[in-house]
Amino acid sequence: MSVRVVLSTGTGLERTGGCKEFEIEARTMRELVRKMDQRFPGLGAWLEEETAVAINGEIHDTVHFQPLPENAEVFFLPKIEAG
């Protein structure tokens, strides 16, 4: 199951050498983050701690349990401050 992954501004581009778009085989956010971490060691923990994620536009914290639909579009975003 392939999903399109995009790192937005402020979400770790310096850890991927500036590469911002990926195609990843993953069924859950846990699997996606683990595979991103395999490709760029240390990125996974950073994504979990410091980003939110939009899965087909729906915004969530970057949590393990979130399922990924087939051909999902996954954007990592800066977490938003509460006011």
Partner 1 sequence: MCATRNAYRWVGSRPVRPDGLEKVTGAAKYGADFTLPGALYGKVLRSPHAHARILSIDTERAAALPGVKAVITGADLPDHPFEYSGPERLALNFWHITRNILAREKALYEGHAVAAVAATSASIARRALALIEVDYEPLPHVIDVERAMAKDAPLLFEDMFTRGVEPPPTEPSNISKRVCFEMGDVKAGFADADEIVERHFRTAPVHQAYIEPQACLAQWQGGKGEIWTSSQGHFAVRNLTARLTGMTIGDLKVNPAEIGGGFGGKTVVYLEPVALVLSRLSGHPVRMSMSREEVFKATGPTSGASMTIKIGVCRDGTMRAAEAILRYQSGAFPGSPVMNGCMCAFAPYSIANQRTIGYDVVSNRPKAAAYRAPGSPISAFAVESTIDIAAKTIGMDPLEFRRLNAARIGTRMVYGPQLAHGGYVETIDALRDHPGYQAPLGPNQGRGVASGYWFNGGGDSGATVSVNADGTLTIATGSPDIGGTRASMAIMAAETLGIDYHRIRSEVADTQTVPYCHVTGGSRVTYATGLAVIDACKKVIDDMRARAALLRDVDVERVAWENGHAVPAVDAAGGKIAEFEPLSFQEIAAKFSATGGPIAATGTVNAGGQAPGFSTQFCDVEVDPETGRVSILRFVAAQDAGRAIHPSYVEGQIQGGVVQGIGWALNEEYIYDEASGTMSNPGFLDYRVPVSSDVPMIEPIVVEVPNPNHPYGVKGVGEVSICPPMAAIANAVADAVGRRMQELPMSPPRILHALNHRQDPEL
Residues that bind partner 1 (CB under 8 A): 6, 8-11, 49-52, 54, 56-61, 63, 66, 73, 75, 77-83
Contact, 25 vs 2, CB < 8 A?
Answer: yes
Q: How many other C-beta atoms lie within 10 A of the C-beta of residue 9?
A: 8
Please state the closest distance from residue 83 (CB atom) to partner 1, in A. 4
Q: Which is nearer to partner 1, 28 or 66 (CB)?
A: 66
Query: Nearest approach, Cβ of 24 to partner 1 (angstroms)?
Result: 16
Looking at the Cβ atoms of 34 and 79, the one nearer to partner 1 is 79
